[in-house]
């Protein structure tokens, strides 16, 4: 029994030891698992913290970037912008290099008193000089100062001098009402108001020749009947300007009379579903103002006499100031009409009326314009209202299918030369335009047949131009352009009446038509 007892004790002791050992091992194992889990949890937290810190750093960097100013360079130019886009500085530009090639004796020069006996005409035709020139070199700076104010400064450096084109500030009050002050294009015609890189031909039409280029003044403008922030159905401009003569880039004023300009232009079918109508726009502009360059009010004020008790009567005599102030007209290459001499001056009302229309449908674009300018012109004791008129029809079509538009076009596929994958955009253009000078400008004003506003043997009374052109947009910035244009003139050559007044001339002028001007123009244009 004792033996069994001792064996039992041994076995039970051993079993207890084994159980105890097993329990210890299980507890140790469990403790080891808990420790491992805790370490894994701690490691997991550390990883999560690092990831979150990285995430926050990225968010902070993004927020900082959103607050930082932005620099942009692209086909639309170069710009700097504040983070919210409210303040910007843009640099754009236009460079136009051209070559002209004339055919025949298109140029005309006036001869001096020593006219060769073999050529009795007062003027003679010569072959004009074809030349390569920088036609336009126009850096253009613009920007915004806050959300309501825009500004612009554009100059032309092509002539080797700084020719100020635009300097203006816009106050954008709301879409319907904005204010522009400074120097800029007065509201006139469609071609004149086009940005230069979009002008269809290198030289403007005769319609544009009858309109001022740029003037100094103040203008209200906006779009009416807009919907949901979109384009308005009617745009308007109305402003007061110093007063520029036809074609003039005005820089100053010599009188207190201002020219009033008003323009209304409507795209009446802008919201219709009929595609054929949507691109039709029509409008009219007009201006009126007094231009008196014969004897400016400033000079008139000191002409006459005054008296006082001390010095008695004081007489002041001033020679009338003659500053001309009337326009001459050209094809852009040669002047075909000008008044006789500086004795011809503006003296009275200048009015302009310009109905205009445009139509864009797919690759097709048409612009039709008419302008009538009436100016009181004085020569000696004779003062008359002279009315000159011009019309123009310009069409363009993109053979490569680009959508034609007034303000800008987008080239579908940029040129990839020397590979043939992309051609660029190819546009064909055509233009017919005409100008008619008032007959009264050429009529003798008295029995002295030499006394006329303009010499019909030197200045043409009408011109009709027509031309074809090809524009090749290599991309949205570069365009190669070539055109052929012919201009036929009525009058403008022959033998002048003698202009001497003592004795009065009795010999009528012999008027002949000038030779037609035929010119091929090629230009290389870079706009950004």
Partner 1 sequence: MKFSTSSLRTVALGLPLVISLALAGAASAKTYNLLNVSYDPTRELYKDVNAAFIKQWEAKHAGDKLNIQQSHGGSGKQARAVIDGLQADVVTLALHYDVDVLYSVAHLIPKDWDKKLANNSAPYTSTIVFLVRKGNPKKIKDWGDLIKPGVSIITPNPKTSGGARWNYLAAWGYALRLPGGNEAKARDFVKKLYKNVPVLDAGARGATTTFVQRGIGDVFLSWENEAHLAINELGPDKFEIIYPSVSILAEPSVAVVEKNAKRKGTTEIAKEYLNFLYTEQGQDIAGKNYYRPRSAAALAKYKANFPDLNLFTIDEVFGGWAKAQKTHFDDGGEFDKIYVP
Q: Which CB sits closer to partner 1, 253 or 513?
A: 253
| Residue with tokens 């060769």, as numbered in its chain | 116
CB of 144 to partner 1, least distance (A): 15
Q: Which residue lies nearer to partner 1 by CB, 375 or 521? A: 375
Q: Compute the distance between CA of residue 128 and CA of residue 103 in angstroms, rounded to an integer.
A: 8
Cβ closer to partner 1: 65 or 73?
A: 65
Judged by CB under 8 A, does residue 226 bind partner 1? yes
Nearer to partner 1, 80 or 234 (CB): 234
How far CA 143 is from CA of 167, 208, 344, 369, 411, in Å, comes to 12, 28, 43, 32, 26
* Binding characters for partner 1, 284-323, by CB under 8 A (x = yes): ----xxx---------------------------------
Task: Return d(Cα 522, Cα 516) in angstroms, integer.
Answer: 19
Task: Return all residues near 8 (Cβ < 8 A) that are at least 6 apart.
Answer: none
Q: Which of 51, 83, 164, 468 binds partner 1 (CB under 8 A)?
A: 51
Residue 332 neighbours by CB under 8 Å, 6+ apart: 202, 203, 204
Query: CA dist 48 to 37, 39, 42, 58, Å?
Result: 16, 14, 10, 15
Q: Min. distance of Cβ 255 from partner 1 in angstroms?
A: 9
Strand stretches in 202-301, DSSP E: 215-224, 234-241, 259-266, 280-292
Strand partners, 302: none
Strands (E), 399-528: 425-436, 460-473, 478-495, 510-513, 517-527
In contact, 344 and 323? CB cutoff 8 Å: no
Q: Does 432 bind partner 1 (CB under 8 A)?
A: no
Q: Which of 121, 163, 257, 513 binds partner 1 (CB under 8 A)?
A: 257
Sole binder of partner 1 in the list 34, 60, 275, 439 (CB under 8 A):
60
Number of residues that bind partner 1 (CB under 8 A): 31
Angle at Cα 263 formed by Cα 257 and Cα 269, nearest 5°? Answer: 175
Q: What is the DSSP letter of 443?
A: S
Name the residue nearer to partner 1 (CB basis): 254 or 328: 254
Among 169, 233, 260, 504, interactor with partner 1 by CB under 8 A: 260
Nearer residue to partner 1 within complex by CB, 49 or 164:
49
Closest CA to 223 of 259, 189, 270: 270
Per-residue contact string for residues 165-204; x = within reach of partner 1 by CB under 8 A? ---------x-xx---------------------------
45 binds partner 1 (CB under 8 A): yes
Residue of 21, 25, 49, 276 interacting with partner 1 (CB under 8 A): 49
Member of 5, 256, 311, 319 binding partner 1 (CB under 8 A): 256
Q: Could you say whether residue 353 binds partner 1 (CB under 8 A)?
A: no
Q: Which CB sits closer to partner 1, 268 or 362?
A: 268
C-alpha 313, offset from chain centre: 56
Chain positions contacting partner 1, by CB under 8 A: 45, 48-49, 51-53, 55-56, 59-60, 174, 176-177, 220, 222, 224-226, 236, 238, 240, 256-260, 262, 288-290, 349
């Amino acid at each position: 029994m004792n033996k069994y007892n001792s064996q039992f004790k041994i076995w039970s002791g051993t079993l207890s030891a084994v159980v105890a050992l097993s329990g210890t091992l299980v507890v140790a194992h469990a403790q080891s698992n808990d420790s491992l889990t805790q370490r894994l949890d701690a490691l997991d937290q550390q990883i999560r913290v690092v990831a979150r810190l990285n995430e926050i750093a990225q968010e902070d960097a993004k927020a900082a970037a959103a607050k930082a100013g932005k620099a942009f360079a692209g086909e639309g130019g170069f710009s700097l912008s504040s983070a919210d886009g409210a303040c910007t500085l843009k640099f754009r530009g236009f460079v136009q290099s051209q070559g002209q090639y004339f055919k025949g004796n298109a140029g005309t020069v006036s001869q001096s008193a020593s006219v060769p006996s073999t050529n009795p005409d007062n003027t003679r035709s010569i072959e004009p000089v074809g030349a390569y020139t920088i036609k336009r070199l126009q850096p253009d700076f613009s920007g915004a100062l806050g959300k309501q104010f825009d500004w612009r400064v554009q100059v032309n450096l092509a002539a080797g001098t700084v020719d100020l084109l635009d300097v203006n500030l816009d106050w954008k009050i709301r879409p319907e009402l904005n204010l522009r002050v400074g120097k800029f294009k007065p509201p006139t015609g469609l071609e004149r108001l086009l940005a230069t890189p979009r002008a269809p031909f290198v030289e403007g039409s005769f319609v544009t020749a009858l309109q001022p280029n740029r003037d100094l003044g103040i203008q209200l403008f906006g779009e009416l009947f807009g919907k949901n922030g979109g384009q308005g159905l009617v745009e308007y401009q109305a402003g007061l300007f110093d007063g520029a003569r036809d074609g003039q880039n005005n820089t100053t004023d010599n009188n207190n009379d201002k020219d009033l300009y008003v323009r209304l232009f409507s795209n009446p079918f802008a919201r219709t579903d009929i595609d054929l109508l949507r691109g039709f726009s029509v409008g009219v502009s007009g201006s009126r103002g007094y231009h008196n360059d014969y004897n400016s009010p400033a000079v008139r004020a000191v002409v006459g006499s005054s008296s006082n008790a001390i010095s008695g009567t004081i007489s002041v005599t001033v020679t009338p100031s003659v500053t001309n102030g009337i326009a001459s007209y050209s094809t852009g290459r040669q002047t075909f009409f000008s008044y006789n001499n500086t004795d011809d001056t503006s003296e009275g009302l200048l009015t302009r009326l310009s109905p205009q229309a445009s139509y864009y449908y797919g690759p097709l674009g048409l612009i039709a314009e008419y302008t009538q300018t009436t100016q009181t012109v004085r020569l000696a004791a004779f003062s008359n209202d002279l009315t000159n008129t011009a019309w123009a029809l310009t069409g363009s079509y993109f053979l490569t299918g680009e959508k034609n538009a007034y303000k800008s076009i987008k080239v579908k596929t940029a040129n990839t030369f020397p590979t043939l994958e992309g051609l660029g955009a190819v546009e064909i253009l055509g233009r017919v335009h005409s100008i008619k000078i008032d007959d009264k400008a050429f009529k003798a004003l008295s029995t002295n047949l030499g006394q006329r506003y303009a010499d019909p043997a030197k200045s043409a009374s009408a011109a009709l131009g027509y031309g074809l052109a090809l524009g090749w947009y290599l991309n949205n910035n570069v365009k190669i352009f070539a055109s052929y244009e012919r201009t036929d003139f009525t009058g403008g050559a022959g033998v002048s009446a003698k202009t001497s007044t003592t004795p009065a001339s009795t010999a009528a002028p012999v008027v002949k038509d000038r030779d037609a001007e035929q010119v091929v123009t090629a230009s290389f244009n870079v706009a950004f």
